[in-house]
Amino acid sequence: MMNAFDITQLRLQQQCLITPQHSRPGELVAWMGAVQAQDYAAAKWAIGQRLTAATDTLLDDAMGNWEIIRTHVLRPTWHFVAPADLRWMLKLSAPRVKALCAYNDNRWGITKAVITKSQKVLEKLLRNRQQLTRLQIAPALQQAGIVTDEYRLGSLLGHAELDGLICSGPRHGKQFSYVLLEEHVPATAPLSKAESIAALAQRYFHSHGPATLQDFAWWSGLTVIEAKSGLEAVKDQLIAVEADDKTYWTPPVKTTKEKLSVFLLPAYDEFTVAYKKRDIQQLHINGNLAPMASLGPVIVADGQITGTWKRTINKKDISLELQPIKPLKKTHQPALKKAIQQYSAFNGLPVTIK
């Protein structure tokens, strides 16, 4: 038996926050299965604090040399995934993501014919390892008679990602570039749908557990029926834990000796975004954070959200404004200091606290 506090504490361990096990971004992302990444700076920090040592530059380099790939997969947003996992994850999740995007596509006239036409332009434009930004791609599409206002351009690029044609490349200044996936990501052996669902379930419950079936369905973008088939396929690797009239699934791991911990988690961190409901992370603050606020930058102490934070990057330092909902105890201050020092080292700048 576990209680909610045990569950959130064990999640910190399985997500490599309390006990980092990996030194390379690609290893960590492969362990996690996928890391939500629409907020690029936040996603880099999400990976960085789960590594044994990391800097912001290390994460830029990892994406720039395709050690990790940023693309639309699982749900209608960007994720980081490992190159070896990209193709089978796309094949599994793309139909569902496209279905979720269909309403807006119809509103804006994004038809199959327009998508096909745009992808022919993109393939020709990016051939021979070209790296082009949205601002460079848009004129070529316009010249082909394709409308590229903000939503339409994003939708067309998203479809090209879901179809495995393109993915994000190195940044050019502050702009992301796009490249042809086949020119930068080696081919891998295909998996059947059943194998893919089982592989995704294995990654999720080992790296995010304890978690419920509904949590897995939310994170993966699969239907509940599909998610259940994945859980059934890997159930022999897991144990069931009952808490608050819910069944949580987790690998039978040894828990680390409980110690005080504090983390400055970024927006859309896997600790918050990867579960359908986030109430058990807010027990200390009585669920006082609105749903979107709970997905923003949060202060987490011993597996519980205790407040929020925000940063301001200055020329010579970073200002952090900590906004506690429940003040940390004096015994947590050393762990908070450690978290601030880690953030400073990651960014290569001193940190001041407002």
Q: Domain extents for the chain?
A: 23-183, 262-353
**Cis, bond preceding 210 (omega within 30 deg of 0):** yes
Tens of pLDDT along 3-33? 999 999 999 999 999 989 999 999 999 999 9
Q: Look at residue 150 and tell me whether its pLDDT is greater than 90.
A: no
What sign has the CA pseudo-torsion 63, 66, 67, 72? positive
Residue 173 falls in which region: left (phi positive, over 0), alpha (psi -120 to 50) or beta: left
Classify residue 349 as exposed, middle or buried by CB count within 10 Å of its CB (0-12, 13-18, 19+): middle
224 Cβ contact list (under 8 Å, min separation 6): 213, 214, 217
Residue 40: strand, helix, or coil: helix
d(CA 348, CA 239): 42
Q: Look at residue 75 and tell me whether its pLDDT is greater than 90.
A: yes
Tens of pLDDT along 293-349? 899 999 999 999 999 999 999 999 999 999 999 999 999 999 999 999 999 999 999
Q: Which two tokens stand for residue 220?
A: 């993966």
Classify residue 204 as exposed, middle or buried by CB count within 10 Å of its CB (0-12, 13-18, 19+): buried
pLDDT greater at residue 255 or residue 37? 37
